Amino acid sequence: MATNNGNAATLNAPHGKRSWLHRNRIKMAPWLFLAPGLIFFFIYVIAPIFESIWISFYAWDGLGPKEWVGMGNYVELMDDDRFYTSLVNNVWWLVLYMLAVPAGLGIALFLNQTVTGIRIYKSLFFFPFVISQVVVGLIFTWFYNPDFGIVGIVWKFFGASPPAILADEDLVTFGIILAGLWPQIAYCMILYLTGLNNVSPDQVEAGRLDNAKGWKMLWYIILPQLKPATFIAVVVTVIGALRSFDLIAIMTQGGPYGSSNVLAYYMFETALSEYGFRYGYGSAIATVLFLIMLVYISFFLWRMYQDEKG
Amino acid sequence: MFKSISKTAAALAITSILGAPAMAGDLSIIFDDLNPAPKAGFEAAVEKFKAANPDINVTVSINDREAHKTAIRNFLSAEAPDVTSWYPGNRMAPFVNAGQFEDVSDLWEAEGFSDSLASTKSAMTIDGKQWGVPYTYYQWGMYYRADIFAEHGIEPPKTWEELLAASAKLKEAGITPITIGTKNLWPAAGVFDYLNLRTNGYDVHNDLTAGKIKYTDPRIVDVFEKWRELVEPGYFIENHATMSWQDAMAAFIKGEAAMYVMGNFAVESMRDGGLSDDQIDYFPFPEITPGVARAEEAPTDAFFIPANAKNKEDARKFLAFIAQPDIQTEWNETIGQLPINKNSSVGDDKFLQKGFETLSSASGLAQFFDRDAPAEMAKAGMEGFQEFMIKPERLDDILKRLDKIQARVYK
């Protein structure tokens, strides 16, 4: 204290600073709390995006010197059959994965009743989402095996020769998407189940008085109230479809001869797998994938912003 | 009390003097196979090395084989061990070219390896220098069910016509002639390599994997035409693209398929599957073009010193040690493979004996398609092989695509 008093003059300068902090501490507090998250988000999410865009302009094997090739990697992409196969498969994933949304809604409506043991049924339906994608992939691989899988057994029962789904270039993608739908439907279902909890009984009651039943009730009374759940379900399904990776790695590794590849796996394969290590080319694929995702992400952010405002 | 303290101090002083070289001799080794036999063979060799060099403090870590293939890229530059296992041929080229491996030509010179390890010298050489020391290799060839062959009165084929005849006979009897699992791609490359080595010979194999011959070259087209003679009549097992090599082994063990183009490591799983040595046997892949000198596939495994290693002196000692004939003899007996040092002896096992005979009389030894060709070309090529085995009618498109990739990879 004594020293403080003795240096009153020097204290004046920091005093002004301290009062700025003091005046703005309400504004500063959230940033302070956000800072750790923001810093990590920047280091691990934002910075790598720009880094990988930057790398996509080089030819680089990760070991030797980088060689600037400008748009070379992108020009090569335009002429790469595997890239187009992957892109088309990505579109199939996006379209067919969307089936998870209505299917999840259907199951949620079905399970949204009070019967003894309903919690057990709900858990059972939710189960595929809880188990690892690796396990899902393995189970479906066995399932599709024409020799000992259930597909083989059913086909043979009807006297037909079973298709080798995972070895057929025309069927393989659909086989994997079906495997992916199993946990994705469970995910959408749980989103809708929570949504259904919040459906206002008054409005349902009012609808009943106006003689709404069945589809009409669903379409005009229930679904509008489930809009937030639908929105989230669509978004997670889109993201899930675009980053479909684990199932492909487990079930086919992109095969046969690249016909079940999607962009995410193709990127991994070119940049990081046993026969890859073309970091530049892999980054170019990643950039394309990022641009596609950006469309959805911007839409998502824009919608969030609109909702917050309204 | 005081006395005992001074005694301890003296003892400490002595140990630290004695211990000084031991402190300098920390040697870390990374090995890449967790399977029981290879692990045991490696550990036994390390124990012997420790016994012979008590002043060197050896630490060992063993990776899973597939994980090692990615991990090596990180640890070579970040935290390099003193010795690591890796593969010769084009597989070591990226690290050699990036200056990540130590040139060990001096060791080859000093230890006379050019003579004792002559069979793999070319595979270990880039730019006229040697980059590692090999400890094992194994033969590839046609493994077959001797009991099924005997039952149908088939002799092990020596020529292409005999192979086709044997296949036709087996097919007629309801047995798949050849099993294969192409899910992991490389088993198809084994078939391609042999068809190429037998149709065109060793030089064409090397020129193709070195990018000097196009895939649309008539000689390579010939190879695929031979392959077609096996594919179109359905001599390969169905649905091979869904199976790994282990999955494909099931048909062989159950007697539903009679032949398997494989490496000698497959024998272990045949025996594990319950086949006795009377039921299985081996013959070198049959001759196709008469007069073409017989070359074989013999993938080699080796040890390397990273350029960033801290203790290169003791690392050289280890490399010299594992090249010794007695060490290689014992190690390879444990893992069921062939020693490289020509003064080693080969295990009693009949497959080792036959393999040794086959390899030592071969005119050339190829590493394997995916070790001789650069990684990217290997991947594209093997996908092409798999596609051809399913859709042989697309041959032209496949070869054109491979040419396109070749033009880019080797530029």
pLDDT confidence of residue A3: 45
Residues of chain B with pLDDT under 70: 1-24
Cα–Cα distance, B258 to B167 (Å, whole number): 9
Structurally, how many domains does chain B consist of? 2
Same-domain pairing of A51 and A154: no
* Mean pLDDT, residues A168-189: 93
pLDDT confidence of residue B24: 53
> pLDDT of B374-409, one tens digit each?
888 998 999 999 999 999 999 999 999 999 999 988
Q: Which domain holds residue B58?
A: 15-137+300-356
Indicate whether A139 belongs to any domain. Answer: yes
Indicate whether A1 belongs to any domain. Answer: no
pLDDT confidence of residue A309: 81
The CATH number of the domain holding residue B307 is 3.40.190.10
Same-domain pairing of B173 and B267: yes
The CATH number of the domain holding residue A84 is 1.10.3720.10
Same-domain pairing of B152 and B223: yes
Structurally, how many domains does chain A consist of? 2
Same-domain pairing of B122 and B146: no
Q: Which domain holds residue A219?
A: 75-309
Cα–Cα distance, B58 to B55 (Å, whole number): 9
- Min distance B405 CA to chain A CA atoms (Å): 9
Same-domain pairing of B167 and B228: yes
Contacts of A63 in chain B (CB under 8 A): 73, 76-77, 94-95, 98, 100
Coil vs helix vs strand at A292: helix
Burial pattern B118-128, b for ≥16 Cβ within 10 A else e, equals ebbbebbbbee
Same-domain pairing of A36 and A81: no
B95 and chain A: CB distance < 8 Å anywhere? yes
Residues within 8 A of A (CB atoms), B 241-260 only: 241-242
Same-domain pairing of B102 and B209: no
Q: Which amino acid is at B154?
A: I
Same-domain pairing of B165 and B41: no
Same-domain pairing of A264 and A202: yes
Same-domain pairing of B65 and B166: no
B348 and chain A: CB distance < 8 Å anywhere? no
Cα–Cα distance, B300 to B86 (Å, whole number): 9
Same-domain pairing of B311 and B378: no
Same-domain pairing of A88 and A226: yes
Same-domain pairing of B260 and B317: no
Cα–Cα distance, B289 to B84 (Å, whole number): 41
Indicate whether A62 belongs to any domain. Answer: no
**pTM (2 d.p.):** 0.81
Per-residue pLDDT at A128 exceeds 60: yes
CB contact under 8 A, B97 and A64: yes
Indicate whether A3 belongs to any domain. Answer: no
Q: pLDDT class for A211, splitting at 50, 70, 90?
A: confident
Same-domain pairing of A191 and A222: yes
Same-domain pairing of A48 and A144: no
Coil vs helix vs strand at B288: coil
B65 and chain A: CB distance < 8 Å anywhere? no
Same-domain pairing of A93 and A142: yes
Same-domain pairing of A220 and A253: yes
Same-domain pairing of B306 and B220: no
Q: pLDDT class for A14, splitting at 50, 70, 90?
A: low
Same-domain pairing of B188 and B114: no
